[in-house]
Structure formats: C-alpha cells, structure tokens
Amino acid sequence: MLDCQEQTHRHVPKGMSLFWISRCHAIAQRPALATRYMMLALCEDAIRDNGQFRAPMSGGYQQLLWSFGVSHKELIKYADHIWKIYKKNRGMGLFPEWILQQLDDAWMLEPRSPAESSLYIVNIRYVRVLKTALKSQPGRSMEWLAITYLLLFPAAEPR
C-alpha cells in the first residue's frame, strides 16, 4: 500500500491495516500505542469517506468509542477536522502520522505502559519526507519527527 501511494502520489486507504496493528498492541498490553494506531485508522477512514464520515463503516470509530473512551461527538469532530487537514495538504496528508500531529491531544487518554516505553515504530517513508523537508522547514520538520516518535506519549507514572 505504501509503495503504491509513494509511486502514484495518491492516497491509498490503510485503515484496515492500522486497525489490526492497533488490536495487536492492545493484546500485547500496549494501550497508548493501541489508541494511537486506532486514531491513525480513524484518519484513514475519514479520508476514505471524503469528508462524509460514515461512522458505522469505520472499525476505528467503533473501537475508539467502545474500547478507548472517545465520545461520538469527539470522533465526528475529529473526522471532520481530519478531512479539512487532508484537503489543505494532500502531500503530507498521505501520512496519517502527520494528520494526527495537527489534531489536539485530548484523545491520548492512556500514558505509555512500561511495555511500550522504549518501543518506537518508525514509518520510514514519513521520516524520509520529513528529512527532505529539512531543507525548506528545518525547525518544523525536526519538531514533527520528535513529536511523532519521541514525545508523543508521556512516560508512565512510577508505581
């Protein structure tokens, strides 16, 4: 999917894959990453629906509502905002990580668990685009990279 997207410079829906990655993190007791990947799936679903978000058709919507505690009203607001962000910058909008950075962080209800504290899964294509952007926006590009992979979740509180 990412190869096709990179070659065509067109959005390829990745919501189902992100949904299942989220479920794997949930099973592995990594709630912050599970929530993050479900939000990435929501980004993909909102784009897939061209701004006419169909909540019942979105696995991300269902899980975020039932398992992660995000309200229906918030999810509809996020989906609308995601579509607007994507329309403004379809190049960067190919990366749900970038879109997620444009949203507020109210959806981050879980701190990182000890099991996920040192786990950073990198989308190398997104990093490559940010690296290229260093020439035109060095500060902004580095900020997005740091937020995406290093600062996204506060560390879990010591017990």
How high is the pLDDT of residue 150?
A: 59
State pTM to two decimals: 0.82
* Residues 158/114, Cβ–Cβ less than 8 Å: no
At residue 110, the 3 state secondary structure works out as coil
d(C-alpha 36, C-alpha 85), whole Å: 18
**Residue 18 burial by CB count (10 A; 0-12/13-18/19+): exposed, middle or buried?**
buried
Q: What is the pLDDT along the chain (159 residues), one digit of tens a residue?
A: 878 878 888 888 898 899 999 999 999 989 889 999 999 999 999 999 887 777 767 777 888 888 888 888 888 899 999 999 999 999 889 999 989 988 888 888 777 788 787 777 778 888 888 888 777 777 777 777 776 665 554 433 333
**3 state DSSP class of 151:** coil
CB 41 within 8 A of CB 19: yes
Q: Which pLDDT does position 159 carry in this prediction?
A: 31
Write down the domain spans for the chain.
2-149
7 vs 124: CA distance, rounded Å: 15
